């Protein structure tokens, strides 16, 4: 069986940085909110904002497996995939499988809701989001409530994601290791089926330039006022 496996690059460096960076930042945001370190909470939120913005753009101009067009499929495709998985069991995929693609979109959407609502939120004591003054107090209160409740949804989704990764690992699909190394061992038949010969990866330099541009915009328009408070 091992002789029929081929080592293939499936994840580029920017995608892997986004995955692990998001995990670390969400953990830091959770801790800073719980500890009342709101200035650092905001700074970490801006860092996450840069990360998500870069990922959204990278999903359009980045490497093949990072592009939304590569892993966001129609509901029919997802249903067919689930049916095949039920009949034949879990198999390795090049990039995100159809269900995993929906998980990525849902998670990014919830994080965007979290970041946007946080811009208008207030703890009603010392800290207000940078756009708090642009809305009424009732709207700010509702967005603050949404900011808190939405994070609970993110935690639920993260738990489901970890569980799914664990199931895949037990079934022999080494997706966790691939997110570290960027490589997976896949059956030759899978490469033929997925046209792996046509898989291309965008320049890491492009991702660096993109991150710098987005970072400058976030720092200049949102982050500097918070840094001055420290």
pLDDT for 154-175, tens place per residue?
A: 999 999 999 999 988 888 888 8
Per-residue pLDDT at 91: 78
User: Encoding tokens for residue 137?
Assistant: 């107090």
Q: What is the DSSP letter of 5?
A: E
Nearest to 51 by CA among 23, 27, 12: 23
Per-residue pLDDT at 225: 60
User: Encoding tokens for residue 155?
Assistant: 């935690």
Most confident by average pLDDT, 49-58, 88-97, 134-143: 49-58
> Is 6 within 8 Å of 188 (Cβ atoms)?
yes
Place 89 in a pLDDT band, splitting at 50, 70 and 90: confident
60/7: higher pLDDT: 60
N-terminal to C-terminal alpha carbon distance within the chain: 58
H or E stretch covering 146:
helix 137-170
Angle in degrees, 0-180, between the axes of helices 13-35 and 204-218, rounded to the nearest 10:
30
What's the pLDDT tens digit per position in 208-220? 999 999 999 988 8
> Residues 81-101, buried b or exposed e (16+ Cβ, 10 A)?
beeeeeeeeebbbbbbbbebb
Place of tokens 């039920």: 86
Nearest to 54 by CA among 182, 181, 217: 217
Q: Is the pTM of this model over 0.75?
A: yes
What's the pLDDT tens digit per position in 11-66? 999 999 999 999 999 999 999 999 988 889 988 999 999 999 999 999 999 999 99
């Amino acid at each position: 069986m091992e002789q029929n496996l081929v080592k293939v690059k499936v994840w580029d460096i920017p995608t892997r940085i986004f995955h692990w960076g998001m995990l670390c930042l969400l953990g830091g945001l959770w801790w800073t909110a719980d500890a009342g370190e709101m200035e650092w909470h905001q700074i970490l939120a801006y860092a996450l904002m840069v990360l998500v913005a870069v990922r959204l753009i990278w999903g359009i101009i980045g490497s093949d497996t990072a592009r939304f067009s590569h892993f966001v499929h129609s509901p029919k495709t997802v249903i067919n995939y689930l049916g095949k998985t039920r009949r034949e069991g879990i198999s390795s995929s090049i990039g995100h499988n159809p269900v995993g693609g929906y998980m990525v979109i849902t998670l990014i959407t919830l994080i965007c809701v979290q970041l946007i609502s946080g811009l208008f939120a207030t703890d009603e004591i010392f800290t207000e989001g940078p756009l708090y003054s642009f809305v009424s107090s009732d709207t700010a209160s509702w967005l603050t409530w949404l900011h808190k409740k939405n994070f609970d949804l993110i935690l639920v989704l993260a738990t489901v994601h970890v569980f799914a990764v664990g199931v895949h690992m037990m079934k022999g699909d080494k997706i966790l290791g691939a997110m570290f190394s960027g490589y997976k061992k896949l059956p030759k038949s899978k490469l033929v089926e997925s046209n792996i010969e046509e898989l291309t990866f965008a320049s890491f330099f492009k991702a660096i330039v993109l991150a710098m541009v987005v970072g400058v915009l976030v720092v200049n328009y949102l982050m500097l006022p918070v840094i001055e408070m420290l």
